[in-house]
């Protein structure tokens, strides 16, 4: 366990008070295996915990919120915890009746929502952590142009993170096809990194945003190739802004040949 050293510290990153019965083990002891699991998940998926010493306080707070919520989300089914007006309680004792599956599922979902809120906030500012954008975790989230969680949940049965997993699979497939046909893999990789790290010129940010709109539209079946050609025209006319595309083989495919009239043509005129 890395992020919490006491029960009180763990409680401070949970949305409700954890009440302990007199004479029982501290909640940190009961939850320790789940804290370890949550920390391992964050370490492998979100950010290496070895980077904690270089993080600003607000990023450490985000990580603790993520781990705290994920701990309770994992612990609820195993420990039979339920949310009451006075905080969390253990089911099956003398003071509370066994909760319905619906109520328990609601608690699991509320913890997933809290985790995802903190995760989304972290992802939007994590580029400020020295070296984070070079980690495998950062590369995982920028596998598409959509590196943060959507503020809208279109499928209520999924958490925002689960929905991101599903949508990012589709986005990766669409972006791969667009890179081959229009934008080049080199430019797409560069634009993804710039979107995640908050860098890039205004024109490059605008083009990346336009391509992201195309990807979203393709996923929902609402785009035509005309829009892609419009974006390519911008890229083609600005070689200094998009050197990756101009160094790719796609440049030759979109070369505009000037019209030359010929004396042998039937409609030739001076």
Q: Where are the domains of the chain?
A: 1-141, 146-255
Cα torsion angle, 228, 234, 240, 241, sign: negative
Residue pair 185/223 in contact by the 8 Å Cβ criterion:
no
Rounded to whole angstroms, the maximal C-alpha distance in the chain is 103
Alpha helices in the chain (DSSP H): 7-11, 27-45, 57-79, 101-125, 136-141, 160-178, 185-197, 202-219, 225-236, 243-246, 250-253
What is the pLDDT, as a whole number, of residue 89?
55
- Of 27, 25, 23, 22, nearest in space to 7 by CA: 27
Predicted confidence (pLDDT) at residue 261 exceeds the cutoff of 80: no
Residue pair 261/270 in contact by the 8 Å Cβ criterion:
no
Cα torsion angle, 177, 214, 128, 199, sign: positive
Average pLDDT over residues 94-117: 72
> What is the distance between the alpha carbons of residues 242 and 235, in angstroms, rounded to a whole number?
6
171 — pLDDT class (breaks 50, 70, 90): very high
> Mean pLDDT lowest for which of 87-96, 109-118, 252-261?
87-96
CA angle (245 as vertex; 179, 176 as ends), nearest 5 = 10
Query: In sequence order, which residues have a C-beta less than 8 Å from that of residue 213 and are 6 or more positions away?
Result: none
- Of 85, 114, 108, nearest in space to 13 by CA: 114
Task: Give, as one character, the DSSP assignment of residue 149.
Answer: -
Average pLDDT over residues 58-85: 82
Predicted confidence (pLDDT) at residue 260 exceeds the cutoff of 70: no
Greater pLDDT, 154 or 61: 61
Greater pLDDT, 46 or 100: 46
Percent of the chain with pLDDT over 90: 59
Cα 115 off chain centre by: 12
CA 84 to each of CA 7, 15, 99, 188, 225: distance values in angstroms, whole numbers, following the listed order = 19, 12, 10, 49, 54
Query: In sequence order, which residues have a C-beta less than 8 Å from that of residue 154 and are 6 or more positions away?
Result: 163
| Structure tokens given for 41 | 């998940």
Residue pair 195/211 in contact by the 8 Å Cβ criterion:
no
Average pLDDT over residues 130-136: 96
**250 exposed, middle or buried (CB, 10 Å; 0-12, 13-18, 19+)?**
buried
pTM of the full predicted structure?
A: 0.80
């Amino acid at each position: 366990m890395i992020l919490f050293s006491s029960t009180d510290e763990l409680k401070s990153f949970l949305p409700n008070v954890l009440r302990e019965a007199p004479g029982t083990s501290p909640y940190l002891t009961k939850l320790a295996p789940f804290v370890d699991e949550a920390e391992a998940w964050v370490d492998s998926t979100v950010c290496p915990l070895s980077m904690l010493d270089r993080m600003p306080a607000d990023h450490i707070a985000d990580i603790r919120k993520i781990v705290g919520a994920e701990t309770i989300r994992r612990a609820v089914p195993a420990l039979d915890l339920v949310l009451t007006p006075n905080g969390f309680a253990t089911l099956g004792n003398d003071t509370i009746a066994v909760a319905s599956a619906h109520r328990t599922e609601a608690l699991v979902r509320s913890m997933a929502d809290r985790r995802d809120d903190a995760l989304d906030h972290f992802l939007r500012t994590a580029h400020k952590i020295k070296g984070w954008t070079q980690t495998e975790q950062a590369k995982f989230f920028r596998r598409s142009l959509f590196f943060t969680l959507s503020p809208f949940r279109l499928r209520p049965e999924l958490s925002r993170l689960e929905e991101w997993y599903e949508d990012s699979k589709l986005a990766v497939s669409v972006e791969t096809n667009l890179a081959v046909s229009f934008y080049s893999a080199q430019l797409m990789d560069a634009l993804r990194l710039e979107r995640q790290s908050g860098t890039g010129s205004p024109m490059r940010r605008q083009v990346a945003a336009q391509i992201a709109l195309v990807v979203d539209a393709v996923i929902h079946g609402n785009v035509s190739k005309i829009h892609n050609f419009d974006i390519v025209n911008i890229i083609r006319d600005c070689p200094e802004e998009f050197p990756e595309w101009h160094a790719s083989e796609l440049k030759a495919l979109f070369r505009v040949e000037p019209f030359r009239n010929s004396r042998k043509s039937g409609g030739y005129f001076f």
